[in-house]
């Protein structure tokens, strides 16, 4: 009886699949080499370093309870930041060609950011003085933002997160001063000392600081009508002291509310 001939396996031979995979890998490898050949490695590292320096994230240990901005505007901020750095690179390159600028271009960017913050701080400081609040609010300048540092004792009673009646006037004046920056990214951060708290409403200092910051946030948004999409609140509790908690004076300095106003060049 004639033996039945075995059917040929369906599809391409196994070696052909392996060969096609190899060709694809080689193609990708040469495309990668070509793309890398057009990148200035030193400038790329400078861009990465600058981006890491100028984009900030919520510090560890913080919590947020805001109705306002979270991630929703991240794409637009990144687009603005990309456009800013692109234009900056073109301007600096032209300046270098014309002999007008020497040095690291990202130092120039940082200098412009700090100058912007200093101008904001000067204007805010003048308004605080004219309103008789220079001794109540400290103004601190950084590259990305201006911080208004308000001792929580001015705003809240011990262990309480609701604004004191006599603190409403203070927050109202601060709101009037900051109204010029409505639409800028504004972050309100609550801080406490390291004395433990455990009440029916606040189980720890993080919760207390969160609600205190949110009280300020609510007043600015609901009463002063700040744009809720560009303002947020958070609490750090005892995790970011500015003085030693070993003394009463140090603990008093650590109990505070910070209002950060990010400048337009920060990319935030």
Are 47 and 104 in contact, with CB atoms under 8 Å apart? no
pLDDT in tens, the chain (268 residues): 455 555 556 666 777 778 788 888 888 887 777 766 655 555 555 555 555 444 444 433 444 444 333 333 344 445 555 555 555 555 555 555 555 555 666 778 888 899 999 999 999 999 999 999 989 999 999 999 999 999 888 999 999 999 999 999 999 999 999 999 999 999 999 999 999 998 889 999 999 999 999 999 999 999 999 999 999 999 999 999 999 999 999 999 999 999 999 999 887 7
Helix 105-130 / helix 41-54 crossing angle, nearest 10 deg: 20
Cα separation, 13 vs 16, in Å, equals 5
Per-residue model confidence (pLDDT) at position 46: 58
* Structural tokens at position 206: 């993080």
- Which pTM was predicted? 0.63
Please report, to the nearest 10 degrees, the dihedral formed by the alpha carbons of residues 140, 262, 235, 157 taken in order: 50
Per-residue model confidence (pLDDT) at position 163: 95
Q: What share of the chain is helix, strand, coil (3-state, %, to 5)?
A: 50, 15, 35
Pairing between strand 231-237 and 137-141? unpaired
């Amino acid at each position: 009886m004639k033996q039945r001939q075995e059917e040929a396996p369906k599809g391409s031979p196994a070696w052909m699949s392996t060969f096609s995979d190899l060709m694809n890998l080689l193609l990708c490898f040469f495309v990668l080499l070509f793309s890398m050949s057009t990148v200035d490695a030193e400038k790329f590292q400078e861009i990465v370093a600058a981006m890491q320096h100028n984009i900030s994230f919520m510090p560890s240990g913080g919590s947020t309870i805001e109705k306002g901005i979270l991630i929703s505007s991240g794409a637009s901020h990144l687009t603005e930041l990309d456009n800013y750095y692109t234009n900056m690179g073109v301007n600096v390159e032209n300046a270098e060609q014309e002999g007008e600028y020497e040095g690291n271009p990202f130092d120039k960017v940082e200098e412009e950011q700090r100058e912007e913050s200093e101008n904001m701080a000067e204007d805010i400081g003048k308004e605080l003085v004219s309103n008789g609040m220079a001794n109540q609010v400290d103004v601190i300048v950084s590259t990305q933002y201006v911080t208004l540092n308000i001792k929580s004792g001015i705003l809240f009673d011990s262990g309480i997160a609701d604004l004191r009646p006599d603190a409403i006037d203070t927050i109202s004046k601060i709101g009037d001063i900051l109204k010029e920056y409505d639409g800028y990214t504004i972050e309100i951060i609550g801080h406490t000392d390291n004395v433990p708290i455990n009440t029916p409403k606040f189980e720890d200092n993080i919760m207390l600081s969160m609600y205190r910051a949110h009280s300020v946030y609510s007043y600015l948004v609901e009463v002063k009508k700040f744009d809720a999409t560009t303002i947020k609140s958070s609490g750090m509790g005892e995790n970011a002291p500015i003085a030693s908690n070993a003394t009463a004076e140090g603990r008093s300095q650590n109990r505070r509310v910070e209002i950060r106003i990010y400048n337009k060049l920060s990319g935030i």
